[in-house]
Amino acid sequence: MQAGFDAASRVNGPLQALMSQSTVSRSDGVTNLPPANGGSYTLEAGFGTKTLTVNSVVAVHDVTSTSFTPGAGYLATTLGADVRWSVLRWRGLAPMIAAGPARMVLVDRTTGDRTWGNGIRASAGVQYRLGPIAIYGDYYHEVMAFSGGVAQGTSKLSGITLGLALQP
């Protein structure tokens, strides 16, 4: 099991414009700005050996304290599965790679409407193990395709995730 936060992230494609878009309320004409300076977080859990694991992944993108309340913008969440391979181990240090299918759901914070996209998520990183706990850093890259809806087309997300892993 591992949990982390994005130290840096980037979005390209239709999703980039969508997540930074403001809206105007029909009822009172007030401009609602999307959340700014949001953080992205990842939770991964799975099973396997020290070398190879199969994991489920949940990643939320650009989350702030107001992300779960009605307002402008969209909440973007990636759900996926991956196979993680720890290439070798040397004095607690282990490089690793992971890849697998993923789905992204965009939730309109004003109406609650959902748009689904399909894609892949891959990452490469390193971890340093200290007993049952490891400190890790990953560079991830997601390619998501939306066949319709508000983010139609292909979007790419990438970033650097830092976090802790529990490995009993």
Phi, psi dihedrals of residue 150, rounded to the nearest 5°: -75, -20
Quote the CA–CA distance of 157 and 149 in Å, as a whole number: 18
Give strand ranges (E) for the chain.
Answer: 2-12, 23-24, 31-32, 39-48, 52-63, 74-86, 93-108, 114-130, 133-146, 153-166
Contact 125, 141 (CB under 8 A): no
Domains of the chain listed by start with CATH number:
2-21+40-166 (2.40.160.20)
Model confidence pLDDT, tens digit, residues 133-159 = 989 999 999 999 999 877 888 989 898
DSSP reduced 3-state for 75: strand
Residue 33 has pLDDT above 70, yes or no: no
Which residues are within 8 A (CB) of 28 and not within 5 positions of it... i.e. 6 or more apart?
none
Average pLDDT, the chain: 82
**Could you identify the residue written with the tokens 């489920």?**
56
What band does 28 get if pLDDT is binned at 50, 70 and 90?
A: low
Tokens of 29: 């004409």
Tokens of 113: 């409407």
What band does 99 get if pLDDT is binned at 50, 70 and 90?
A: very high
pTM, full prediction: 0.79
Quote the CA–CA distance of 139 and 113 in Å, as a whole number: 31
